Structure 1
Amino acid sequence: MSLIENMGLVNKDKDRTIKQIPVNLLVENPDNFYCVGDVEELKYSIIAAGGVRQNLVVEPMDDGRYMIVSGHRRCKAVKQLLKEQTVGISDTVPCEISTDHYGNQLLLIETNSTARELTAWERVEQYIRLNSLFKYGIMTKKINGRKRDAIAEVLHESKTNIARYSAISNNLRKYYTDWMKSGKLGISAAYEVSKMTPDQQKEFYEQHLDDAEITLKAIDDFLNPVATPEEMPVAEIEEPMPEQEEVQEAGEVDPEDIFADDEEDAEADQEAESSKPEELEELQTEHDFTMNDIYGYYQMMGNILKKLDDGTCSEEEMITKLQVQANNMIPKLDRLRLLANQIKEMKQ
């Protein structure tokens, strides 16, 4: 039983019809904003399994065709195999027919949110879509409880990340969309840019059009530029008036100088102390995103094992794919340990 069923977002007791449907009757879902991508590897898995072994989920249309809810990549792979006249591939695929349009829209997001590593744009877009669906769900009393908690649970994300997606969707200028889709602008950087004023966002965008990747350092340099020697103002030196000039004897100490160093030290300590919460927040943010990346690898490894169980992946393919995910996860775990230690030291 899926998470959205457990949460009461779809009808658990509805009848579910499963039948073989010709792929030429299956149409793309206009609400699907996820990238279908290359399916070459999936095609080999389908050939090895002798066809599609996992049901697609489809919604009937008025013209006799079916709109795909879950299984866009499988459908694309089968269509390509048929076009290539691959031997042993049927022109029909097993489909579960669902008439719950609202639940189908939720299912579209749930099945794709952990299927692979998503782009920053896809992660924010699925939040926007799910947020809209939950508003409808609350109005129609299909959903109870706190919306942010429910969204975080469906997307397998922390509530901190959900808050960041909300800030990005509300404040980031639309011309950054292509950067997020291409991977040039990640979530952490997008969140920082979203906190800029509209004029700052435009200026930053124009300055970094040719960059391959937007880093947090680039954002920090933009917000806190370091003045060059030529840009630094020359301090005006005021000559003391002769009548105000006082001659100090050798060894004599000005009483005001006694406290000057102490005041400077206190100001420096206060400045360092005031910057701690900001540094701690930055570390915690990076910690949360790193943890989320690790959880994503964990989810993908689980999906790989699931494919072995349902026969869409061979054992050799499983081993290779798990090795890739494990190798990708190791540097993330090393970084997480470092961040955890830094946060612990800063809190002491």
Structure 2
Amino acid sequence: MKIVDVRTEPMDEPAVTLPWRDGLPRRPTSEPQGFLVIETDDGVVGRAHTTKLVSVQALVEAQFSDELVGRDPLARELLWQRIWEINRLEYMPTTVVGLVDIALWDIAGQSAGLPVHRLMGGYRDRIPAYASTVTFGSVEEYLDVADQCLALGYTAIKLHAWGDARRDAELSQALRDHVGPTVDLMFDGSAGWDLADAVYVGRALAEARYLWYEEPMKEYSIGSYRRLGAAVDVPLLVAEVAEGAHWTVADFISQTNATYVRTSAGFKGGLTGALRVAHLADSFQLRAEVHGGGLPNEHLCMAIPNTTYYESLVVSNPVRADPRLDSNADLVAPDSPGLGWRLPG
């Protein structure tokens, strides 16, 4: 089997802007979304979704076609290394680096007649989801959203709040008081603070017994996370968007006291990079929590033992049930060969 074509396909869906913390832009991406497509001479077609379609098309023309056409699509490790070599000469956004790898896993699964998670390891066939909020307007609205999420079967809730350390600390403790001690709660700072404010919120989260504290500061400074870990008792979840896949995660593990690291197909160089991160974390008895939704990450959740929840985004009030989840708010393993992209028509 050989690769015969590399191309992009647009999707006729508008960009969506979601409300996050204060200070972040409120405009959609300027690029359309779509798929990187890799086709083989056996007629098997692998896909990877991207929100950077214009940038990816430019890479297809400049690099990907020449590098991939004529290659064995099952040589994922070789081709994963080759993409990193291209990235050395022609920088790609982190979310673009892993697209070829994701499409190649899709081809491998289809060729084997198996869902990708079975090829990667097949650890579980379902996983509970947590409700991951966008930013709402008031404490009262967050508490109302939390009640709706619990009624839908969620047993865990993660806050994306306002980016104001005092208000966010008060919200975090109010949510704990409201839902009681048995609901897992998490907090995502969306890289909004410096060390002083991160410590302030972290101490409030520790008092409220939060499961984890995620990305309170930009991840350029590992030393700042080391200082944060020494100052707060809440478990830290680190290396969400830091570039460099498992290489950078290794430094976070060795230089901080984090309990969790982030892994994902989108930010860790595809599924191959995400697996590297998960296995690295496992060797240190750490959890590798899967960041974000989407089909590649659904498969990843099913394949690795050291992740706790699937991230299910709650984008509206009233809260709408996530169609990917069952009545218990569990994500059930995809069963289609490959990744199982749900294509229009």
Relative to the length of structure 2, the TM-score reads 0.25
Which structure carries more strand by proportion? Answer: 2
Which structure carries more helix by proportion? Answer: 1
Higher relative contact order (CA 8 A, sep 6+): 2
Say which one has the larger Rg. Answer: 1
Relative to the length of structure 1, the TM-score reads 0.25
